[in-house]
């Protein structure tokens, strides 16, 4: 399955991903209408700022293969979709106990205020590419299979090594 | 890859060039717009502030994150400040254009701009009378000299009044005075916008916007109006004239020189220079059958209106003209000139010539234009174009056949003359119900709207419903290209409007000029209101800018609304991040200046809004629906 992969060195902290996420999860899916909607549309991706390093990094659900949230959910509101392999949330089953939030390694299970249920990334089931990825102006977010993403990283690493061989020094 | 051209314009000539661009892999504004997607949401909502270096600050539109900037500015304050800066920039552009026109006029009176002279003495005297300058038994040079000084003073005035605001109906003047938004001086209001939006100055959205209204009025009834009137004195007040528009006006066998930008100070000289026998001879020697001078954008509107010089297109056609491969020189001055023309012209033989001391672009040949040496520079420009003719690559030439006849030149004076010297016949047609009202449709092109789609469809709907349309700027060119500026277009109008147009021999859509010439619309509206003994806001009239994009359009929209005309915008201004500002613009202003804005991207629905408004105003005046 394709995942939202993060290239943290590219994030400029503009929060475009957050807004695009909230708009995609609004009633109208239109920015200008979404800002007036009730319930207020909520984001599922979070740009976290680390003051000591002066960097911002987007954090979103990893759709873990062995997802602790699905293991602990007492009502099976959180489960793995066997076809798409995504970790999905069924609000109608959710009792709002927040056990999932306690065990999530990334803190990306939020709370839908009005319905008082859990809320998390669904990888935008109505879209080919998740809204956050499309909105990122610096391509800090990419939607790719892990094998492809890693493949690119490997070839970049190989290129660095090769250049080092040519100049006689490995950077 | 499927062709995208079809979704980009409704104009057949433009579609041909867009397909050509696609085939050759040439990038245009539409491609660059695609690369900008999705555009920044904070920017679209107007909730980012870069006014001080504690920022940039942004407000979370969904209320989870920051609700204030570092200084404490809320979304309402940030949106209002940003809007005020847009108004300031727009008013500055129009008014600085006016300043140049007045300075040229003044230099002419001092004998320092020998290439210019007075073309409309009657208007000169009429303006002098407005300024209380004696005209009896004085020669025109004396009058002009005194008028030039008086006009120039408008820019530096501190306490007003700007004389041309006195053209507004009494009720409107009283309202402005009561609100404290009578402009005090053209430059002062713009400077004050920048002061108020500096960190820690004006932080009340309503207070900020009231100054926005005042600044816009210094443009509409100040800068823009001065530009129009001085240009009329120098180059003649337009009268109805026929011409042709669209890319097909470029000639296969002549030297094509496109004049693009806004100020007729330059284009008028180029026209004269192109008639120089030596240059004509040179063109023949270079193998051309002659010199074909055409306009583009508002410079195009200026020369179209005064001389019937053909116009190649509106804002989004500037790149398409170059892609025909047949443009020897693209000569530009100021405003709405895409810096992209530099890279684009380098793909062709086209010389990109910049002339304004205040505007240069990448890849230009610099030929700075000064009043003192205007004719000589113009001659050099034309010569450069002519000498470039042999560099054409015949294999790359692709000029669309499409060109369209049009009747233009409806200055307020010309409209009143056509009506027999008084607005009474027009008023009779309106009160009798043959003409329901007046629609002023103006403004730019914007890649967010299919090129000309908003303009043409809105105008067609209005005339179909017996609303007489007055137009300027890029809308005027769009209407001309769609064949709406010919008397025969009356066939597309409702029965009432059709009969009026046929009786007067005029099109149902009247071309009143360039974007500074929206001042002509104000003058006309004022004349009609005064004859009826009402305020402009009482008239069955509405405005629209279906494809607006520039800051000038923001200033225009604001002065039109401040003058009492309900205005529908076709693209969303960056204000929706503030409920307070949005509410004020779309509703609250009704209680302030008796008019407001609406936003409606669908031209058919926009027409409905305008017609509904016109019907309400008719009812209030006791007229039949």
The 10s digit of each residue's pLDDT in B81-102 is 999 999 999 999 999 999 999 9
Closest residue in B to A46 (Cα–Cα): B65
Q: Which residues, in sequence order, are CB contacts of B534 under 8 Å at separation 6+?
A: B169, B171, B621
pLDDT band at A146 (very low <50, low <70, confident <90, very high): very high
pLDDT given at position A166: 76
Q: Read out DSSP for B575-619?
A: TTT-HHHHHIIIIITHHHHS--EEE--SHHHHHHHHHHHHHHHHH
DSSP A41: P
Could you give the percent of chain B with pLDDT greater than 70?
100
Position B299 in a domain: yes
Position B540 in a domain: yes
Residue A95 and residue A13 share a domain: no
Residue B45 and residue B82 share a domain: no
DSSP H or E stretch at residue B30: helix B29-35
Residue A26 and residue A99 share a domain: no
Residue B493 and residue B365 share a domain: no
Residue A85 and residue A66 share a domain: yes
Residue B285 and residue B206 share a domain: no
Closest residue in B to A26 (Cα–Cα): B62
Single residue among B210, B235, B260 that ends a domain in this structure: B235
Domain with B526, as residue range(s), is: 406-620
8 A C-beta contact, residue B309 and residue B294:
yes
Average pLDDT, chain B: 96
Q: Do A19 and B41 touch (CB under 8 A)?
A: yes
Q: Do A35 and B64 touch (CB under 8 A)?
A: no
Residue A56 and residue A1 share a domain: yes
Position A89 in a domain: yes
Mean pLDDT of A62-78: 96
pLDDT given at position B89: 98
Please count the helices (runs of H) and the strands (runs of E) in chain B.
26, 15
Residue B493 and residue B444 share a domain: yes
Structure tokens at A16: 């475009």
Residue A45 and residue A3 share a domain: yes
Structure tokens at A34: 């979404």
DSSP H or E stretch at residue B301: helix B297-307
Beta-bridge partners for B245: B311, B404
Number of domains in chain B: 4
Residues of B in contact with A22 (CB under 8 A): 62
Residue A132 and residue A104 share a domain: no
Cα separation of A133 and A5, whole Å? 9
pLDDT for A171 beyond 60: no
Q: Do A35 and B572 touch (CB under 8 A)?
A: no
Mean pLDDT of B359-373: 96
Residue B116 and residue B255 share a domain: no
* pLDDT tens digits for range B163-194: 999 999 999 999 999 999 999 999 999 999 99
Cα separation of A76 and A79, whole Å? 6
Position A84 in a domain: yes
* pLDDT tens digits for range B239-283: 999 999 999 999 999 999 999 999 999 999 999 999 999 999 999
CA distance B590 to chain A (A): 22
CA distance A32 to chain B (A): 7
pLDDT given at position B420: 86
Residue B338 and residue B281 share a domain: yes
Interface test with B, best of A12, A19, A136 (most B CBs within 10 A): A19
8 A C-beta contact, residue B353 and residue B330:
yes
Cα separation of B216 and B222, whole Å? 9
Residue A43 touches chain B, beta carbons under 8 Å: yes
Mean pLDDT of B485-495: 98
Q: Read out DSSP for B383-419?
A: HHHHHHGGG--GGG-------EEEEE---HHHHHHHT
Q: Which residues, in sequence order, are CB contacts of B327 under 8 Å at separation 6+?
A: B250, B256, B257, B258, B321, B348, B350
pLDDT given at position B2: 65
Peptide bond into A141 cis (omega under 30): no
**Cβ neighbours, 10 Å, residue B32:** 12
Q: Which of B44, B63, B579 sits opposite A31 (nearest CB)?
A: B44
* pLDDT tens digits for range B117-161: 999 999 999 999 999 999 999 999 999 999 999 999 999 999 999
Cα separation of A26 and B416, whole Å? 54
Angle at B87 between CA B82 and CA B93, to 5 degrees: 130
Angle at B195 between CA B102 and CA B444, to 5 degrees: 55
Residue A87 and residue A35 share a domain: no
Residue B538 and residue B600 share a domain: yes
Q: In the A/B pair of chains, how many CB contacts fall below 8 A?
A: 43
Cα separation of A64 and B227, whole Å? 66
pLDDT band at B80 (very low <50, low <70, confident <90, very high): very high
Residue B286 and residue B167 share a domain: no
Residue A136 and residue A105 share a domain: no
Residue A132 and residue A107 share a domain: no
Residue B41 and residue B133 share a domain: no
The CA-atom distances, in angstroms, between B606 and each of B146, B545, B570, B601, B602 are: 46, 10, 8, 7, 6
Q: Read out DSSP for B245-297?
A: ESGGGS-SSSEEEEEESS-HHHHHHHHHHHT-HHHHHHHHHTT-S-EEEEEEH
Residue A106 and residue A131 share a domain: no
Q: The domain that contains B225 carries what CATH number?
A: 1.20.1270.30
Q: The domain that contains A10 carries what CATH number?
A: 3.30.70.20
Closest residue in B to A32 (Cα–Cα): B576
* pLDDT tens digits for range A102-122: 999 999 999 998 889 999 999
CA distance B61 to chain A (A): 6
* pLDDT tens digits for range B457-484: 999 999 999 999 999 999 999 999 999 9
pLDDT given at position A52: 87
Residue A56 touches chain B, beta carbons under 8 Å: no
Helix, strand, coil shares of chain A, percent, nearest 5, are 30, 20, 50
Q: Do B41 and A23 touch (CB under 8 A)?
A: yes
Q: The domain that contains B354 carries what CATH number?
A: 3.40.50.2030
pLDDT for A169 beyond 90: no
8 A C-beta contact, residue A140 and residue A146:
no
Structure tokens at B192: 């004050």
Closest residue in B to A23 (Cα–Cα): B62
Interface test with B, best of A32, A45, A56, A135 (most B CBs within 10 A): A32
Domain with A141, as residue range(s), is: 1-60+124-145
Mean pLDDT of B566-581: 97
Residue A69 and residue A96 share a domain: yes
pLDDT given at position B64: 85
Q: Nearest to residue B536, comparing CAs of B211, B91, B167, B127?
A: B167
Q: Which of A15, A18, A40 sits opposite B63 (nearest CB)?
A: A40
Residues 19-38 of A with CB under 8 A from B: 19-20, 22-23, 31-32, 34-36
Number of domains in chain A: 2
Mean pLDDT of B559-586: 98
Closest residue in A to B48 (Cα–Cα): A14
Residues of B in contact with A43 (CB under 8 A): 62, 64
pLDDT for B1 beyond 60: no
Residue B433 and residue B353 share a domain: no
pLDDT given at position B37: 84
pLDDT for B391 beyond 70: yes
Chain position carrying tokens 């807004």:
A19
Cα separation of B88 and B523, whole Å? 23
Interface of B with A (CB under 8 A): 38, 40-42, 44-45, 58, 60-65, 572, 576-577, 579
Mean pLDDT of A130-153: 94
Structure tokens at B72: 């404490």
pLDDT band at B395 (very low <50, low <70, confident <90, very high): very high
Residues belonging to chain A: 171
pLDDT band at A170 (very low <50, low <70, confident <90, very high): low
Cα separation of B191 and B91, whole Å? 11
8 A C-beta contact, residue A47 and residue A11:
yes
Closest residue in A to B38 (Cα–Cα): A135
8 A C-beta contact, residue B381 and residue B331:
yes
CA distance A36 to chain B (A): 9
Single residue among B396, B431, B447 that ends a domain in this structure: B396
Position A17 in a domain: yes
pLDDT given at position B571: 97
Mean pLDDT of B20-34: 96
pLDDT for A168 beyond 70: no
pLDDT given at position B114: 85
Position B188 in a domain: yes
Position B365 in a domain: yes
Position A25 in a domain: yes
Residue A92 and residue A55 share a domain: no
CA distance B583 to chain A (A): 13
């Amino acid at each position: 399955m394709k995942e939202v992969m993060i290239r943290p060195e590219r994030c400029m902290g503009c929060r475009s991903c957050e807004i695009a996420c909230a708009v995609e999860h609004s009633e109208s899916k239109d920015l200008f209408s979404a800002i007036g909607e009730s319930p207020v549309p909520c984001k599922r991706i979070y740009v976290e700022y680390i003051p000591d390093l002066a960097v911002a990094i987007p954090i979103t659900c990893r759709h873990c293969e062995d997802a602790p949230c699905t293991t602990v959910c007492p009502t099976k509101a959180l489960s793995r979709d066997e076809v798409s392999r995504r970790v999905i949330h069924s609000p109608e089953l959710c009792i709002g106990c927040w056990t999932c939030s306690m065990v999530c390694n990334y803190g990306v299970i939020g709370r839908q205020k009005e319905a008082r249920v859990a809320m998390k990334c669904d990888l935008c089931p109505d879209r080919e590419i998740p809204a956050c990825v499309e909105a990122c102006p610096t391509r800090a977010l990419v939607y790719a299979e892990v094998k492809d993403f890693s493949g690119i990283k490997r070839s970049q690493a190989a290129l660095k090594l090769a250049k080092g061989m040519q100049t006689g020094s490995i950077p | 890859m499927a062709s995208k051209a079809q979704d980009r314009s409704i104009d057949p000539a433009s579609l041909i060039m867009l397909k050509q661009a696609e085939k050759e892999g040439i990038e245009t504004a539409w491609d660059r717009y695609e690369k900008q997607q999705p555009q920044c949401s904070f920017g679209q909502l107007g909730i980012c502030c870069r006014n001080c270096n504690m920022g940039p600050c942004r407000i979370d539109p969904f209320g989870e994150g920051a609700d204030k900037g570092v200084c404490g500015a809320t979304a309402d304050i940030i949106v209002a400040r940003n809007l005020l800066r847009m108004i300031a920039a727009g008013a500055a552009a129009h008014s600085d254009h006016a300043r140049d026109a007045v300075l040229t006029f003044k230099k002419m009176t001092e004998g320092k701009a020998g290439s210019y002279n007075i073309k409309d003495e009657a208007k000169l005297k009429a303006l002098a009378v407005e300024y209380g300058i004696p005209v009896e038994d004085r020669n025109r040079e004396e009058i002009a000299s005194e008028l030039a000084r008086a006009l120039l003073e408008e820019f530096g005035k501190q306490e007003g009044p700007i004389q041309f605001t006195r053209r507004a109906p009494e009720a409107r003047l009283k309202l402005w005075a009561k609100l404290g938004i009578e402009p005090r001086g053209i430059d002062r209001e713009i400077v004050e916008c920048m002061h108020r939006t500096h960190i820690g100055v004006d932080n009340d959205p309503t207070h900020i916007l009231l100054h926005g209204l005042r600044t816009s009025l210094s443009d509409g009834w100040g800068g823009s109006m001065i530009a129009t009137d001085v240009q009329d004195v120098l180059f003649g007040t337009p009268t109805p004239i026929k011409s042709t528009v669209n890319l097909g006006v470029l000639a296969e066998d002549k030297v094509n020189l496109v004049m693009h930008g806004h100020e007729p100070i330059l284009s008028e000289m180029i026209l004269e220079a192109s008639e120089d026998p030596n240059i004509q001879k040179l063109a023949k020697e270079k193998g051309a059958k002659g010199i074909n001078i055409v306009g583009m954008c508002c410079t195009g509107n200026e020369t179209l209106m005064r001389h019937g010089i053909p116009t190649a297109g509106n804002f989004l056609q500037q790149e398409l003209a170059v892609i025909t491969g047949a443009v020897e020189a693209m000569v530009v001055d100021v405003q709405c000139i895409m810096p992209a023309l530099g890279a684009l012209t380098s793909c062709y033989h086209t010389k990109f010539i910049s002339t304004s001391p205040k505007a240069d672009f990448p890849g230009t040949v610099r030929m700075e234009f000064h009043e003192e040496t205007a004719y000589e520079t113009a001659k050099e420009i034309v010569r450069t174009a002519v000498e470039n003719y042999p560099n054409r690559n015949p294999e790359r030439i692709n000029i669309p056949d499409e060109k369209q006849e049009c009747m233009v030149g409806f200055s307020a004076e010309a409209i009143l003359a056509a009506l027999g010297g008084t607005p009474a016949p027009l008023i009779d047609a309106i009160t009798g119900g043959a003409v329901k009202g007046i629609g002023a449709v103006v403004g730019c092109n914007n890649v967010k709207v299919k090129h000309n789609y908003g303009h043409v469809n809105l105008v067609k709907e209005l005339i179909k419903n017996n609303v007489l349309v007055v137009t300027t700027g890029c809308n005027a060119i769009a209407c001309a290209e769609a064949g709406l500026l010919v008397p025969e277009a009356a066939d597309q109008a409702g029965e009432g409007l059709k009969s009026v147009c046929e009786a007067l021999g005029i099109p149902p859509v009247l071309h009143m000029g360039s974007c500074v010439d929206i001042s002509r619309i104000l003058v006309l509206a004022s004349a009609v209101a005064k004859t009826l003994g009402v305020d402009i806001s009482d008239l069955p009239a509405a405005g629209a800018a279906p494809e607006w994009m520039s800051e000038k359009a923001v200033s225009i929209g604001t002065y039109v609304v401040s003058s009492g005309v309900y205005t529908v915008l076709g693209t969303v201004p960056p204000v929706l991040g503030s409920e307070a500002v949005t509410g004020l613009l779309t509703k609250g202003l009704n209680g302030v200046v008796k008019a407001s804005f609406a936003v409606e991207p669908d031209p058919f629905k926009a027409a409905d809004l305008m017609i509904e408004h016109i019907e309400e105003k008719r009812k209030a005046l006791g007229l039949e629906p």
